[in-house]
């Protein structure tokens, strides 16, 4: 989960919409019905961050207001501890259709957090909520709007070949298949779901992430607006990078753990962005370092310098060094077949650059 300050959210609101896959790297951009269902239920429960106001939010609250006491809403209110906003990723337990066929996963980190029986009961109650509230009718009524919100986004992503450039960098075996979830009630940030097939086998081979709508100028009379701009590039490469890195971080866990002495946990940027562990910190630094390198390779000198400075200001203090290593020894050196092969080399070079200091007794 990556909770973001309003300024960063403003930078990241620029990606989404329109269903269907594009040419080359596969790209589907749409409001996912399952994720939207769970977002609505969580919002009704009072266990969801405030949304940016829009006419869509107003319509949601008006339509679903009679169901504020539904068992699904009451169930999530009973969950112990913090109810995280990215719990809505359980929406991938439902297939991508307004009929919302439900699959119960064999295992889930959310089972560990809230209890297997509790989560399964919640999902079943969410399915009942969809039926009893006629969620299908609401979703289909807004389907045209969902599609129209992102037409320019798709056009920009495909024109700039952002996914192809990301794939060319990591050099994975197959072209990426992305499902980017337009999330109009999400005012808190972005969240990658690298393996949605763990929720439901219908998503096998697809990488997914949800992106919220944030605006300080919107009100209840205005339609959510998702524009293609300079920060869409950052978003595709950043969130897409987390997807590519997940398996690498699992395979090289011991080597990453050995660098834990680098964790700058007390820096303001780590606290403000809820970076609560070394693994999380390192993952963010690698992703951001790669994005800086991609900006150097594909963007203007000014854009690259601005991207680099932004990460320094946010206290991702190793991103710049990682970008330099990547540029010199990976992009500028064809020795390594792909980023998988280069990743342990990157870790070794980072350790050499920042060796653990001897502790004085």
Contacts of 261 (CB under 8 A, 6+ apart): 356
Q: For residue 83, is it within any domain? A: yes
pLDDT at residue 231 in the model: 58
Q: For residue 66, is it within any domain? A: yes
pTM for this model (two decimals): 0.74
Contacts of 208 (CB under 8 A, 6+ apart): 32, 92, 178, 179, 180, 181, 192, 193, 194, 196
Local confidence pLDDT in tens for the 361 residues of the chain: 444 433 333 233 333 333 333 334 578 888 999 999 999 999 999 999 999 999 999 999 999 999 999 999 999 999 999 999 999 999 999 999 999 999 999 999 999 999 999 999 999 999 999 999 999 999 999 999 998 887 777 888 888 888 889 989 999 776 667 888 889 999 888 787 878 999 999 998 888 878 788 888 999 999 998 766 655 687 789 888 888 898 899 999 999 999 999 999 999 999 988 899 999 999 999 999 999 999 999 999 999 999 999 999 999 999 999 999 999 999 988 899 999 999 999 999 999 999 987 433 3
* Cβ(337)–Cβ(331) below 8 Å: no
SS3 179: strand
pLDDT at residue 8 in the model: 33
Longest CA–CA span in the chain (Å) reads: 69
How wide is the angle at C-alpha 18 spanned by C-alphas 289 and 3, nearest 5°? Answer: 40
Q: For residue 220, is it within any domain? A: no
**138 and 257 belong to one structural domain:** no
pLDDT at residue 2 in the model: 41
Domain that holds residue 277: 252-353
* Cβ(10)–Cβ(218) below 8 Å: no
- Say what the alpha-carbon torsion angle 51, 57, 58, 63 is, to the nearest 10 degrees: -130
**196 and 267 belong to one structural domain:** no
pLDDT at residue 119 in the model: 98
pLDDT at residue 25 in the model: 55
**208 and 277 belong to one structural domain:** no
pLDDT at residue 174 in the model: 65
180: which strand partners? 29, 209
The closest of 52, 44, 213 to 125, measured between CA atoms, is: 44
**40 and 160 belong to one structural domain:** yes
**294 and 192 belong to one structural domain:** no
* pLDDT tens digits for range 67-79: 999 999 999 999 9
Q: Which of 212, 229, 260 is the last residue of a domain?
A: 212
pLDDT at residue 38 in the model: 98
Alpha carbons 258 and 272: distance in angstroms, whole number: 25
**158 and 288 belong to one structural domain:** no
**326 and 189 belong to one structural domain:** no
pLDDT at residue 135 in the model: 98
**204 and 264 belong to one structural domain:** no
SS3 180: strand
CA-to-CA dists, residue 11 to 57, 204, 229, 261, angstroms: 21, 30, 9, 31
| Total number of domains constituting the chain | 2
**95 and 195 belong to one structural domain:** yes
Contacts of 355 (CB under 8 A, 6+ apart): none
Q: For residue 233, is it within any domain? A: no
Q: Which of 181, 197, 212 is the last residue of a domain?
A: 212
**66 and 184 belong to one structural domain:** yes
CA-to-CA dists, residue 30 to 15, 106, 137, 225, angstroms: 11, 27, 17, 14
102: which strand partners? 94
The closest of 186, 181, 236, 188 to 209, measured between CA atoms, is: 181
**63 and 196 belong to one structural domain:** yes
* pLDDT tens digits for range 186-195: 988 878 787 8
């Amino acid at each position: 989960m990556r909770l973001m300050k309003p300024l960063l959210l403003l930078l990241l609101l620029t990606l989404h919409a329109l269903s269907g896959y594009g040419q080359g790297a596969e790209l589907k951009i749409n409001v996912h019905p399952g994720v939207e269902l769970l977002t609505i239920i969580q919002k009704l429960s009072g266990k969801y961050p405030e949304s940016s106001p829009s006419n869509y939010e107003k319509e949601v609250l008006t339509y679903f207001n009679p169901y504020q006491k539904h068992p699904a809403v009451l169930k999530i209110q009973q969950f112990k501890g913090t109810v995280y906003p990215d719990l809505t990723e359980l929406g991938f337990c439902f297939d991508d259709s307004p009929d919302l066929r439900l699959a119960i996963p064999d295992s889930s980190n959310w089972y560990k957090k809230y209890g297997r029986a509790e989560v399964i009961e919640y999902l079943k109650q969410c399915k009942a909520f969809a039926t009893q509230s006629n969620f299908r009718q609401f979703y289909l009524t807004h389907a045209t709007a969902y599609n129209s919100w992102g037409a320019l986004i798709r056009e920009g992503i495909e024109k700039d070949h952002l996914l192809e450039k990301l794939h060319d960098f990591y050099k994975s075996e197959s072209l990426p298949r992305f499902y980017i979830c337009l999330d109009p009630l999400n005012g808190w940030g972005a969240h990658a779901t690298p393996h949605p097939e763990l929720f439901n086998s219908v998503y096998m081979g697809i990488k997914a992430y949800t992106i919220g709508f944030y605006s300080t100028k919107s009100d209840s009379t205005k339609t959510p607006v998702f524009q293609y701009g300079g920060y869409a590039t950052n978003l595709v490469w950043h969130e897409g990078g987390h997807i590519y890195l997940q398996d690498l971080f699992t395979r090289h866990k011991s080597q990453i753990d050995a660098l834990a002495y680098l964790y700058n946990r007390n820096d303001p940027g780590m606290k403000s962005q809820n970076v609560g562990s070394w693994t999380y910190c390192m993952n963010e630094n690698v992703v951001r370092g790669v994005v800086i390198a991609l900006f150097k390779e594909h963007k203007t000198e000014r854009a690259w310098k601005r991207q680099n400075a932004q990460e320094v200001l946010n206290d991702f203090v190793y991103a710049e060094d990682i970008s330099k290593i990547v540029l010199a020894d990976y992009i500028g050196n064809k020795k390594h077949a792909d980023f998988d092969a280069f990743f342990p080399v990157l870790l070794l070079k980072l350790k050499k650059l920042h060796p653990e200091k001897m502790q004085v007794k």
